[in-house]
Amino acid sequence: MSLINETHDVNLKSWVASANVAGTDFPIQNLPFAAFRRKNSADAFRGGVAIGDQVVDLKVVAEANIFSGDAQHAAEAGAEEKLNTLMGLGNAYWSALRLAVSKALREGSEHQSVLESALVAQDDVEYSVPCHIGDYTDFYTSIYHATAVGRLFRPDNPLLPNYKWVPIGYHGRSSSIGVSGQSFPRPKGQTKAPDATAPSFGPCKRLDYELELGIYLGNGNALGDTISIEDAEGHVFGFCLFNDWSARDLQAWEYQPLGPFLAKNFASTVSPWIVTTEALAPYRAQWHRDAEEPQPLEYLESAHNREAGAFDIQMSVLLESEKMRADNQPAAKLSESSFRHSYWTVAQMVTHHTVNGCNFQPGDMLGSGTQSGPEHEEAGSLLELSRGGKETITLANGEERKFLEDGDKVIMNGWCEAEGYNRIGFGSVEGTVLPAK
């Protein structure tokens, strides 16, 4: 069954002129969701949909009662302060709302006058984390990242034998996830120099970013039930950009035997916009395993997953230093990669997460793990780009980095392109490192 429908038609134009400008992240074929309000207001946050450089206020749309059936019910859920209720409704409601909003925003729509009153310029809004993230699990799906990092920590055994059989992950901390624009103090903790007899305490010296995707769950499953790989994507509401900041020196000392702890839980940053799984249909790709590689166990295998389980989502990282801001210089590009390189698919992550009976709830989030490509310049972290701090990275303005310094802002972008379809984007996720408290 084709996942492409009329909302993806490249010929669709919107009466919102900015949505028709080439290169915009938010043409009418995208329609991602966020939680927003007007800047510097006491208004409650509410759900919105991006179109061009505007936001459609779902509270205004819901109160206008211009939709019907599932679409109206979904609009009312989307008008709430967080998107969890909308996420929990399920795919039929998400799709109905997407189609209704698409029709209402098209040239010649009978609902143009109503939706004009629902528009707010993106320059005039602020965002919150779009939903209550009850639980967050970070995966490790890039074999290129896993191998490169493993080589730094375990030169003789870089890739552990379970990696090619199990979608590896760990449970993260959702309370420290913030929305784009987040700033945080440099974390402190224990570190141990290779030649030291005892650890020391203080601010981390090897602060890093991780280029990831966030994957939001919609309708969940009951405790004890599992989600089959055939049904897994129907439980995924959408995707965002995700920066999972990491203190590499803390990590090196603490990660054995139980994995990440203080090195990861001090801050993580999501982009405000959730691009729906339906919007990404034209940018799917085949997923495969080379014949000489271990093939997935039966519960992680399906024909659809092979044919279209991968997503070709392009991702880039830029760094803006304090000096760049002071000199009014643009941010320096560090790397670019794609989610199509992921060793495990979203469906496999969802299925494996529930195979033991673990229950998902609407708004739960999965991190994809750092998305690095096969080439060194496609690395999704400074740990890889600097080869564990052994090599210096020279920025466009002549500054040098091995890891992040105070005042550095990291900017990540994401977008999708495919022949015969409009380019769509994720916006950006930005975060700034402050001095340690």
427 alpha-carbon distance from chain centroid: 11
Distances (CA, A) of 269 to 99, 182, 183: 30, 7, 9
Torsion of CA 383, 386, 387, 389, to 10 degrees: -80
CA gap 292, 308 in Å, rounded: 21
What pLDDT sits at residue 335? 97
CA gap 301, 345 in Å, rounded: 10
Give me the count of residues in the chain: 437
Sketch out the chain's domains with CATH numbers: 6-128 (2.30.30.230), 136-434 (3.90.850.10)
Annotated ligand binding at 370? The verdict is yes
Annotated ligand binding at 212? The verdict is yes
Annotated ligand binding at 394? The verdict is no
Annotated ligand binding at 138? The verdict is yes
Q: Phi then psi for 284, rounded to 5 degrees?
A: -75, 160
Whether 135 and 171 have beta carbons less than 8 Å apart is answered as yes
Q: Is 145 a catalytic residue?
A: yes
* Cis previous bond, 187, omega within 30: no
Annotated ligand binding at 251? The verdict is yes
Closest alpha carbon to 125 in 196, 46, 19: 46
Whether 214 and 240 have beta carbons less than 8 Å apart is answered as yes
Helices 91-105 and 69-78 cross at an angle (nearest 10°) of 90
pLDDT in tens, the chain (437 residues): 579 999 999 999 999 999 999 999 999 999 999 999 999 999 999 999 999 999 999 999 999 999 999 999 999 999 999 999 999 999 999 999 999 999 999 999 999 999 999 999 999 999 999 999 999 999 999 999 999 999 988 888 899 999 999 999 999 999 999 999 999 999 999 999 989 999 999 999 999 999 999 999 999 999 999 999 999 999 999 999 999 999 999 999 998 888 889 999 999 999 999 999 999 999 999 999 999 999 999 999 999 999 999 999 999 999 999 999 999 999 999 999 999 999 999 999 999 999 999 999 999 999 999 999 999 999 999 999 999 999 999 999 999 999 999 999 999 999 999 999 999 999 999 999 999 99
Residue 400 carries which side chain, given as an amino acid letter? Answer: E
Cβ-based neighbours of 257, under 8 Å, separated by 6 or more: none
Q: Which residue carries 């919007």 as its tokens?
A: 279
Q: Quick one: CA dihedral 112, 118, 120, 122, positive or negative?
A: negative
Closest alpha carbon to 372 in 51, 147, 200: 147
Burial 271-294 (b: 16+ CB within 10 A, else e): bbbbbbbbbbbbbbbebeeeeeee
Whether 424 and 27 have beta carbons less than 8 Å apart is answered as yes
Whether 401 and 386 have beta carbons less than 8 Å apart is answered as yes
Q: Which two tokens stand for residue 129?
A: 């984390």
Q: Which of 8, 111, 145, 352 is catalytic?
A: 145
Looking at the chain, the number of H-run helices and the number of E-run strands are 11, 26
Annotated ligand binding at 255? The verdict is yes
* Strand pairing report for 365-367 and 211-217: antiparallel
The secondary structure of residue 44, as a DSSP letter, is P
Annotated ligand binding at 312? The verdict is no
In 90-186, where does DSSP find H-type helix?
A: 91-105, 112-116, 143-153
DSSP 3-state assignment of 77? helix
Q: Phi then psi for 143, rounded to 5 degrees?
A: -65, -25
pTM score of the predicted model: 0.97
Q: Which two tokens stand for residue 237?
A: 């509401």
Whether 239 and 215 have beta carbons less than 8 Å apart is answered as yes
Torsion of CA 319, 325, 328, 331, to 10 degrees: 10
Annotated ligand binding at 329? The verdict is no
Residue 261 carries which side chain, given as an amino acid letter? Answer: F
Whether 210 and 370 have beta carbons less than 8 Å apart is answered as yes
| Cβ atoms < 10 Å from Cβ of 190 | 15
Closest alpha carbon to 320 in 421, 433, 221, 235: 433
Annotated ligand binding at 432? The verdict is no
